[in-house]
Amino acid sequence: MPSPTERIDTAAGFARPRLEASHVRRLGIDTGHEHVVYLDRNSPICRSEGFGPHSRLSVRVGEREILAALNLVQPGWLAEDEVGLSESAWLSLHPQAGERVILAHPPSVDSLAHVRAKIFGKQLDAGALRAIVGDIVAHRYSSIEMAAFITAASGNRLVLDEVVALTHAMVQTGAQLNWQRPCVMDKHCIGGLAGNRTTPIVVAIAAEMGLTMPKTSSRAITSPAGTADTMAMLAPVELDEMQLRHVVETCGGCIAWGGAMNLAPADDLLIRIERALDIDSVGQMVASVLSKKIAAGATHVVIDIPVGPTAKVRDLLEAQALADLIKRVAAVFGLRVRVLISDGTQPVGRGIGPALEAHDVLAVLRNETHAPQDLRAHALHVAAAVLELGGAASAETSHVVASDCLASGRAWCRFQAICKAQGGLRVPGRAAFRQSVPAPCDGRVTAIDNRRLSRAAKLAGAPASPLAGLTLDVHLDETVATGQPLFTLHAQTPGELAYAMEYVSRHAHIIEVEVTA
């Protein structure tokens, strides 16, 4: 991924007042994604520039510039003219011996006026959205400013023109792939449903049937695992553009992490905040999805919308409105889409969490007898739509063609070839700490709460702890006996297991069992 420093426009930046420090020190403090710069609290730089703790300031070394929060340290740690850098700041600026560090007030961010206008219900034009997205990609927005933009754009507050303009802005602020082919396939699932890891299976089938499917996926936004998180359990996914092209030329398809490609990078920055807030905005979701597809060079896209009371899309009306918005925005960009509205009343597959979902994918591809049949069926449904949209099969034959490709083992062979080209197939382990949640009574499973299952899997550590999550032991309408496991939590540490169990014990109805009369 290009470092943030490369994308900051410094052309007009240094007419601003500034001060230089001749000494810079790597302090070895890991502050996560947030850049922090440290100065002595009696530093003349603070006095003359009016900097205080948590001021945001611009830090420049040579041509590289970042925005960082300021922390002040007690005398004795740093010389008065010395600047300390956090790990992320150091890695972005990588100062060389003898290079001077220039500190300045950050440029004022004029596009925030547009965010304020949006908060007050104004419609934003293309210029305003381009300015906002440009400033986000240039790392000029603080976390709370991004949170305000995301919130202001949530809850159906973007009209069609705004979604189109946002999509365009997100495409234009990143790299774009061009495959020089008339038909480049892609797929996307509007999440909210735990498990449901069809992509690796669909890509294997599409590629095996002669289509080009250079699939780039994201990490989880609000779910316990994204496709990239799951695929990373099976093969390397952080490919650069040359590696990705090689895999696609060799195998017809790939399953890579899109973030390594700088496609629509605004999305990757917004994702961190959306994940922390646990919200998605419909307009922003459509812009994110389509901008990634357009930037990745796709021409034909199948979009799966699972519908259920605890899925991201709750009912058919909402799904149709979303499908309509997707089609209208896609049409503006000449992108051909096929929308599938599917059953989202329960998770698809058994595992929830990166490694646990990877085990499900392997079982389906290998045609193992215990493979989750719901995942198999749904993957075939999506694959058939891809084959048909891409012209590799007719509407009549697409399902049987996909099915045969999987059952014959050809899809599995193709998947192994793809993994090998990406750097080698690997099989994930199992988490050391597990605990089952038993049925409270004899009865029938009447409801499964996707959101709370996802929350429990996340509290158990997914996706950061990749072996963590949970496995479903029952499905809707199954009959269970008292004490029979409903689901099993998996964790890599006892602390995380206890934390997830504490949540589960407070929410008895994650899986509802109704006493049979």
| Residues with catalytic roles | 280
Q: Does 28 bind a copy of itself (CB under 8 A)?
A: yes
293 phi, psi to nearest 5 deg:
-65, -45
Asked if omega into 4 is within 30° of 0 (cis), the reply is no
CB nearer a copy of itself, residue 295 or residue 352: 352
Q: Does 42 bind a copy of itself (CB under 8 A)?
A: no
Find out whether 264 and 143 touch, Cβ atoms under 8 Å.
no
Residue 92: how many other CB atoms lie within 10 Å = 21
First to last CA, the chain: 59
Q: Does 145 bind a copy of itself (CB under 8 A)?
A: yes
Q: Cβ 413 to a copy of itself, closest distance in Å?
A: 38
Angstrom distance (rounded) from CA 35 to CA 37: 7
Dihedral of CA atoms 67, 69, 75, 76 in degrees, nearest 10, equals -60
Q: Which of 292, 287, 271 is nearest to 33 (CA)?
A: 271
Residue 463, classed as helix, strand or coil, is coil
Q: Does 309 bind a copy of itself (CB under 8 A)?
A: no
Residue 303, classed as helix, strand or coil, is strand
CB nearer a copy of itself, residue 276 or residue 407: 276
The one among 2, 32, 127, 391 contacting a copy of itself by CB under 8 A? 32
Q: Does 152 bind a copy of itself (CB under 8 A)?
A: yes
Site string for a copy of itself, 444-463 (x = CB under 8 A): ---------------x-x--
Residue 297: how many other CB atoms lie within 10 Å = 18
Query: In whole angstroms, how far apart are CA 156 and each of 151, 162, 167, 175?
Result: 11, 11, 15, 28
Q: Does 127 bind a copy of itself (CB under 8 A)?
A: no
Locate 385 and state its tokens. 């739509």
Q: Does 278 bind a copy of itself (CB under 8 A)?
A: yes
The one among 38, 90, 257, 415 contacting a copy of itself by CB under 8 A? 38
Angstrom distance (rounded) from CA 411 to CA 384: 13
Q: Cβ 47 to a copy of itself, closest distance in Å?
A: 7
Q: Does 273 bind a copy of itself (CB under 8 A)?
A: yes
Q: Cβ 76 to a copy of itself, closest distance in Å?
A: 8
Q: Cβ contacts of residue 464 below 8 Å, gap of 6+?
A: none
Angstrom distance (rounded) from CA 349 to CA 194: 9
Site string for a copy of itself, 475-514 (x = CB under 8 A): -----------------xxxxx-xx--xx-----------
Residue 241, classed as helix, strand or coil, is helix
Q: Cβ 276 to a copy of itself, closest distance in Å?
A: 6
The one among 29, 79, 321, 341 contacting a copy of itself by CB under 8 A? 29
The one among 143, 172, 397, 435 contacting a copy of itself by CB under 8 A? 143
Please identify, among the stretches 240-248, 272-280, 291-299, 326-334, the one whose residues bind a copy of itself according to the rule CB under 8 A. Answer: 272-280
Angstrom distance (rounded) from CA 360 to CA 376: 9
Residues from 90 through 109 that contact a copy of itself (CB under 8 A): 105, 108
Site string for a copy of itself, 47-76 (x = CB under 8 A): xxxx-xxx----------------xxxx--
Whose tokens are 């189109």? That residue is: 164
Binding site for a copy of itself (CB under 8 A): 15-17, 19, 27-34, 38, 41, 47-50, 52-54, 71-74, 77, 86, 105, 108, 112, 116, 119-121, 142-148, 150-152, 154-156, 273, 276-279, 459, 461, 464-465, 492-496, 498-499, 502-503
